[in-house]
Structure 1
Amino acid sequence: MEKMNDGTPSSLRLFNKQKVLQSIRLHDTDKEVSRASLAAFLNISKPTMSTLIDELVAEEWIIEVGEHTQSSRAGRKPVRLSFNKNARYLIGIDIGGTHTECVLTNLAGEVIVARSFSTQEQLRSGMLLSRIAHMIEEVVQEANIVKEKMMSIGIGVPGITNTKTGVVVEAQSLGWKNFPLKAELEALTPYSIYIDNDVNMAVLGEHWLGKAKNDENVVMITLGTGVGCGMILNGDLYRGHAYAAGEIGHLVTDRTLAKENDYSSFEGYGFLDNQIGGPALTEQMNRRVGDRGLSAEQIFQLAAEDDADAAYVVEEMVSHLSFAIVNIVSIINRKPCARWGHIPFAASVHSYFCRCDGTAFACEHKHIYYTKSIYILFRSSLFKHVRTRLNTQGMKRLNQPTTRCQTYVDYVLAPTYSFTRDHYFTYILEISIAHIQMLRRQKIIPDIHASTLVEATTKLYETGWNKPYNAQFEDLFFMIEHDLSEKVGHEVVGNMHVAFSRNDMDATMYRMFWRERVVEWMNDIHTLADKILKIANGHTSAYMPAYTHHQQAQPTTLAHYFMSVASNLQRDVERGWSLLTRIDQSPMGACALGTTGHPIDRTWMSDSLGFERVLTNSYDAVSASDYMIELASVLTICMSSMSRVVYDLLQMTMNEVNTFRLGDLHVQTSSIMPQKRNPSALEHTRAMMSDAMGVLNGVPFMSHHVPHGDIVDIGDDIQPKLLDGFTKVTQTIQLLEQILDHGTFHTDVLYDRAANGFSTVTELADVLVRDGGLSFREAHLVVQTFVKSTEKLSDGNVKRLQEAGQRVGVAVNLSQKQYEKAIDVASFIDVRKVQGGPAPVAIHEHIMHVQEALRNTRTKVNQKQEGFTTYRTKLFQRTANEGEER
């Protein structure tokens, strides 16, 4: 019923009916309402009230449910009245930036049917409104509601809306601006549509049936892609000028950060949106730990598990939100009610309530200090160990108590822990299991302790480890030890690390990690080499000019060119295999650096972990860094060689050259020039190669001018740099292989370039030597003089060659037929049949040779890779057998 009172009898009756209905609805659950009680409460005469009630009963808005149980009057008891929650039905639709949700409810807000779908999918297909209209019909049909019972459809939009015209003024996440949503949807469905900002809809819902029911003044804050605010002031929704009230996403809660103008990762969103919105949380987490694909929900879960990075991100978010709430409450002096909207972590964070009792507060730095004013309550399931509360103590840090410098924790210990956890956890446990088994085999620890330790460590291996860093411990090693101690006892775990040090464990896990990575890199090189050989095999007669000093030199073929590339890759593989033999040596048993007095078996440990042999000298075992420098060098050589190929390919894509065409998968266009096919993939490949080489060039300096011993420079600190460079190298190799797989060489253009230049005159000089009886120096002088006097080789003939000879005093005895054959591109190639030459027969021989060499290294690499699987299988099979013995 629409509010209406213009003074006419009909409008007054409608107004009174609405007052009656509203009173019954509000007090239906806590009071027994009758005609008489309503007449007294609303100051309406009993006859008029009776008439109004009869009309409302006839219209099914209210129902009579029996006698009034609380009446003390004699005679007939008053009839109790109740709001008919099923008198009409409503549809509510929330068009979110991620999902669109629809519910059909009765007047009590009880959901009868619910539907949802992906907003962005429908937006991209241009079918969003059609999908909404179809969904409306679906829920009405499923609920079996007749049209006359449908009261209205309310739609919430994440943006500014003009409720009078039904136009969405602006909705950033939907790409709408001045969009006539009401008119468009009413053309697709028979029902009346009401649209408003989604937060306004939410606060109206809370005011109607939720936690703010009956409150005159309510402020609601919702978090989703951005942040919004809805306000009910003195019982009415406050929309402000131009319907834009509550757009608090533009609030500034950190003046310094705002002045730096470096906060807007999401164009079109405000400062606060960019600090506490769901995508903003993911972006901030990515900046700290790299892009691990974490959703906002996962970030909150990690914070609940005391992850330092996630806790920091959440704490910053709470800080910004708190300042925003304080600003809002200070301005309007109302009671705030904050809740989570439809955001990725809504399942984890059900509610977020803020209340203010009006007491004064003060702010200092980034933390907020209150005197009994505002508190924020998170659902306990979100923060298992963290109670985030804004009170006289201010914001508490989310880390565990520690005496260590927090800056040291943030910048060194926590990142090192995260890197070790993500890359070396499984190797640490494999080393530990093998070591325990060796101690048992050598009778160094009791069998019962060994069996207990192996069982507990194996379970940990199978479960995995995603715990955040705890600053009570130095690193992952001690956190694992503590975890096992809690499971099997300190006395048992105390035997685990007899004749065992982090020094030899670290050196071993690094080598275990890098031998597997080198094998992966060699597999990538093999794949690229196969592609190169395939190109060569298919282009043995694809003639092209070769260049020296940027000038045409001699004719060759694409096959000849790419076989030179294949030779580089063959040497890369050989270097990789040679390096692998030096990496695949076990440091275990070196302990700190001087081995141990216990009767350990280093060879058994080496075999159990799949190493080729023991790294003999224990001091060398924990101090060696040369293999890391060698790895960086091998990778740098590979990048240097392949970067020259990328340079050539880029030159070939130029319009004026036009001898290589990138596939459509690997080009980009211009924003202004429609004809452009920019070779962007090749350009990015070149940049990635430069980046990789730059990173890898830093590896030798990490080992330069440092003590010859176990130090963090060649341990914890060098690993991320080496892995960063390695990752860029493998990505580049894979990308280059795909570029070549989808590219096309214009062999006709290449041939014309070779035929129309002077690149064949080397053969002309050779013919003068072989058939004309000249010395090579005489032949060279004659041909050089001939070229200087001829604009195009095709314009020349043997007579002009003879004239050139006469000018330098050399007689030329050559026929026209001999001359024409000498300058022919195909003839030039065919006669160069020597080993490694460009003639097809020589190329095929070279292809076979390289293929055989690569087959041999691939076989060895496959065997090495199988060995990694074999040692693990044996390690855990031995563990299973020990369990059976128990």
Structure 2
Amino acid sequence: MSDPRHDDKSVFPDPVYKDTVLRPLFDGAKTHHVEAFGAIDRAHLVMLVETGILDAAQGHDIAVALRGIASEVDPTTLVYTGAVEDYFFLIEQHLKARLGPDLAGRLHTARSRNDIDHTLFKLGLKARLDVLLAKARALYDVLVATAERDKAVLIVAYTHGQPAQPSTFGHYLGAMIEVLGRDIDRLQQAYGIVDQSPMGAAAITTSGFPIDRERVAELLGFAAPLQNSYSCIAAVDYITATYGAIELLFLHLGRPIQDLQVWSSFEVGQLYVPNALVQISSIMPQKRNPVPIEHLRLLSSQTFGRARAMLDVMHNTPFTDMNDSEGETQAMGYQAFDSAYRVLDLLAAVMGQVRIDPARVATNIRRSCITITELADSLVRQEGLSFRQGHEIAAAVARAVVAMDGDLPVDGFAPFITAFAQAVGRPSRIDATRFAELVSPEHFVAVRTRFGGPGPAPMAAALESYRQRSAGFAAWAAAHATAQAQATAELNSRFDALVGAA
């Protein structure tokens, strides 16, 4: 039998492989990673000259060639032909045309496509996380402002889909704010994992050349080099941390978005969505459709699904450099960012404009008797009863008021007097005026002054903590933006010096 290795006359690339794999990868690189490719080339070149691996003349010639390629080659016009394997080799081909193969090839000293690729992907994620975090912080600030505005505005709070107790819109939003704050924490922690440079790992084990990994990390704006070189090319926790945080963010946002849908329904109606955010039916002129809320829900689900898909792709992959975590997967993940941006922008716009309808809230409170828990509590405090006995009296009052479709503060006093006397064997010391006060929603909220409650004092403390949290998020962002700007300026300065050196 003949040896197929000797008989193989095929030429790379196979046309089908070119069209199904290489062309999409090339198009993805020219779309998403051109700037990062250029930054990596410049930073690596500066380091090679600073460490003496290349001399100043070599560095100058390569720098001039890189600048020429950047100014003369428009990536958007490039069409993949199969003449080179990928975008990396296209740039190397241009370098060879300008410098010859010997000098052009020296730029690749002590590096590999392995460490280059993961550095590209991390730079891409850092830039997108910067945008995502900025939009999440903007939503956070809108929620805080709306909570401040509506800290005393009554709502019906629901459990198990049924009216439960009165609270305030500000208190409800405080719950959203705290979850969003923890989600921002997770995004910042993911950023910290991404913010470690793989450059210098080369293929797997670093290099025998005296490279300076710290310097390349500094020039590219990373916080530090990732220590273990095998981890640089094998670990995908920077991917899973990022998309895991995104997945949780949009899982969590989807829940209050669902409440917005219910609250703005005709039957509940406690949330008023302004005309600017409402579409009218094409056939039913009476209908006000808060369609943006539907888009928030579906886009949140799409973002969640795209982020989850990234985790699924990473599952049960080998602990090594592999295509599963690279170009096409990265491009797929960027779609999660695209829909995430839309949700955060739209939700911030919605939450800044919606209002609570006080008339509908009052009607729903009246119909549901949701202040009755405070009557039971008050009987404990003012009549010396056990909570269970107070609860039974309150339950009897609620049943009577609901049966007559009455108003608890007005129509509940007579059933209360009867139920109290039957249960306790004496008349209550609470008169009609006091009874009406005890079962009012305003009183219900006002007496809930414990830490974390909707009363004025705990709400004021909570709002102050949210403002401080926002300031902390802003300081984190400012520090990272400053560090990145300084790194970019340093890289540009050192590269310009190479170009200018003669």
> Structure 2 length normalisation: TM-score?
0.92
Kept in 1: contact 2:155–2:270 (CA 8 A): no
Q: Structure 2 stretches of 5 or more lacking a match?
A: 1-9
Match of 2:69 in 1: 460
More strand by share: 1
- How does 1:627-666 map onto structure 2 within 5 Å? 627-666=238-277
Match of 2:191 in 1: 580
Partners of 1:552 and 1:664 in 2: CA distance: 27
Moved more, 594-603 or 460-469: 460-469
- The letter of the residue matching 1:461 is A
For residue 157 of structure 2, give the secondary structure of its aligned residue in structure 1: strand
- How does 1:703-718 map onto structure 2 within 5 Å? 703-718=314-329
Q: Structure 1 stretches of 5 or more lacking a match?
A: 1-400
Kept in 2: contact 1:798–1:814 (CA 8 A): no
Q: Which has the larger radius of gyration?
A: 1
Instruction: Give deviations 1:672-712, integer Å, cap 9, x for gaps.
Output: 22222222221122111111112211111211111100000
Say whether 1:800 aligns with 2:415.
yes
More helix by share: 2
| Number of residue pairs matched by the alignment | 486
Structure 2 vs 1, CA of residues 577 and 810 (structure 1 numbering), >3 Å: closer, same or farther?
Answer: farther
Say whether 1:752 aligns with 2:367.
no
- The letter of the residue matching 1:616 is Q
Tell me how far 1:755 sits from its aligned partner.
Answer: 4.2
Partners of 2:190 and 2:105 in 1: CA distance: 37
Partners of 1:654 and 1:496 in 2: CA distance: 63
Partners of 1:636 and 1:544 in 2: CA distance: 30
Partners of 2:108 and 2:230 in 1: CA distance: 19
For residue 208 of structure 2, give the secondary structure of its aligned residue in structure 1: coil
- How does 1:614-633 map onto structure 2 within 5 Å? 614-633=225-244
Kept in 2: contact 1:830–1:839 (CA 8 A): yes
Say whether 1:503 aligns with 2:114.
yes
Tell me how far 1:659 sits from its aligned partner.
Answer: 2.6
- The letter of the residue matching 1:874 is E
Say whether 1:518 aligns with 2:134.
no
Alignment match of 2:44 (pick from 435, 445, 448) = 435
Tell me how far 1:547 sits from its aligned partner.
Answer: 0.6
- How does 1:245-644 map onto structure 2 within 5 Å? 403-463=12-72, 464-466=74-76, 467-644=78-255
Tell me how far 1:435 sits from its aligned partner.
Answer: 0.7
Instruction: Give deviations 1:567-607, integer Å, cap 9, x for gaps.
Output: 12111111111111111001111000111111111111111
Partners of 2:396 and 2:250 in 1: CA distance: 42
Instruction: Give deviations 1:752-805, integer Å, cap 9, x for gaps.
Output: 323443111111111111111112222222212322233232354445224224
- The letter of the residue matching 1:453 is I
Kept in 1: contact 2:409–2:440 (CA 8 A): no
For residue 546 of structure 1, give the secondary structure of its aligned residue in structure 2: strand
- The letter of the residue matching 2:396 is T
Kept in 2: contact 1:543–1:555 (CA 8 A): yes
- How does 1:726-737 map onto structure 2 within 5 Å? 726-737=337-348
For residue 700 of structure 1, give the secondary structure of its aligned residue in structure 2: helix
Match of 2:462 in 1: 846
Partners of 1:412 and 1:851 in 2: CA distance: 49
Partners of 2:363 and 2:282 in 1: CA distance: 34
Partners of 1:617 and 1:862 in 2: CA distance: 29
Instruction: Give deviations 1:330-383, integer Å, cap 9, x for gaps.
Output: xxxxxxxxxxxxxxxxxxxxxxxxxxxxxxxxxxxxxxxxxxxxxxxxxxxxxx
- CA RMSD of superposed structures (Å): 1.9
Partners of 1:431 and 1:811 in 2: CA distance: 85
- The letter of the residue matching 2:323 is V
- The letter of the residue matching 1:520 is V
Report 1 or 2 for greater relative contact order, CA contacts < 8 Å, sequence distance ≥ 6.
Answer: 2
Alignment match of 1:814 (pick from 429, 449, 463) = 429
Instruction: Give deviations 1:631-683, integer Å, cap 9, x for gaps.
Output: 11211111112111211111222222223333333332322222222222211
Match of 1:696 in 2: 307
For residue 84 of structure 2, give the secondary structure of its aligned residue in structure 1: coil
Kept in 2: contact 1:506–1:715 (CA 8 A): yes
Instruction: Give deviations 1:797-823, integer Å, cap 9, x for gaps.
Output: 445224224444575643124322210
Kept in 1: contact 2:56–2:498 (CA 8 A): no
Match of 1:134 in 2: none
For residue 826 of structure 1, give the secondary structure of its aligned residue in structure 2: helix
Question: Among the aligned pairs, what percent are the same residue?
Answer: 27
Alignment match of 2:290 (pick from 679, 682, 687) = 679
Say whether 1:833 aligns with 2:449.
yes
Match of 1:859 in 2: 475
Tell me how far 1:732 sits from its aligned partner.
Answer: 1.0
- How does 1:132-143 map onto structure 2 within 5 Å? none
For residue 753 of structure 1, give the secondary structure of its aligned residue in structure 2: helix
Match of 2:379 in 1: 768
For residue 697 of structure 1, give the secondary structure of its aligned residue in structure 2: helix
Tell me how far 1:471 sits from its aligned partner.
Answer: 1.0
Kept in 2: contact 1:801–1:812 (CA 8 A): no
For residue 717 of structure 1, give the secondary structure of its aligned residue in structure 2: helix
For residue 790 of structure 1, give the secondary structure of its aligned residue in structure 2: helix
